[in-house]
Amino acid sequence: MPYKFEQLEVWQLAMEYIDAIYVLAEKLPRSEDYKFKSQIVRAATSVALNIAEGSTGQTNAEPARFLGMAIRSLIETVASQHLIHRRHYVSDETLITTVYSKSQILARKLQSFRKSLAPALGQIREEPASYISETDEF
């Protein structure tokens, strides 16, 4: 019997995203093995691991929290992609575009899944603080 997370479309997409990130990471210069390559692979892996870990939650808030961490890790990979592109570490524009497109799809799925589990999470906001400066009159 498969684990719950193995049946989730979002987890399967995360696994495909990891594969795409590995392809991108392999194109990086050797000098980046312990920098961007390591960082982007760990962050992409964290997306799938957080989805899996959150799938065992007892309440909807717990999986939603792990999905939030998965989203943060995904954003880290996207920021890394921008840095890789800016430094011209990978010349294959099709690969860069494909990986970025996969990140957008995965981000939408993660956000939708998280919102479906805990819709109130997106509505919790603090009231803006009112600051009074010394020059303000009371």
Q: Using one digit for the tens of pLDDT, what is the confidence trace for 16-41?
A: 999 999 999 999 999 998 888 999 99
The string of pLDDT tens digits covering residues 39-65 is 999 999 999 999 999 998 778 888 999
Instruction: Spell out the long-range contacts of 64-69 with Cβ–Cβ below 8 A and sequence spacing 24 or more.
Output: 64/114, 64/117, 64/118, 64/121, 67/110, 67/113, 67/114, 67/117, 68/114, 68/121
Domains of the chain, residue spans: 8-120
The per-residue pLDDT for 61 is: 85
The per-residue pLDDT for 47 is: 98
The per-residue pLDDT for 35 is: 86
Q: How far apart are CA 100 and CA 43, in angstroms?
A: 14
Instruction: Using alpha carbons, select from 58, 54, 69 the residue that is nearest to residue 5.
Output: 54
Q: Does domain 8-120 have CATH number 2.40.50.140?
A: no
Q: How far apart are CA 102 and CA 3, in angstroms?
A: 24
Cβ(122)–Cβ(72) below 8 Å: no
State pTM to two decimals.
Answer: 0.83
The string of pLDDT tens digits covering residues 70-128 is 999 999 999 999 999 999 999 999 999 999 999 999 999 999 999 998 765 555 444 55
The per-residue pLDDT for 25 is: 97
Cβ(73)–Cβ(47) below 8 Å: yes
84 phi/psi in degrees, rounded to 5: -60, -45
Q: Regarding predicted confidence, which is higher, 127 or 66? A: 66
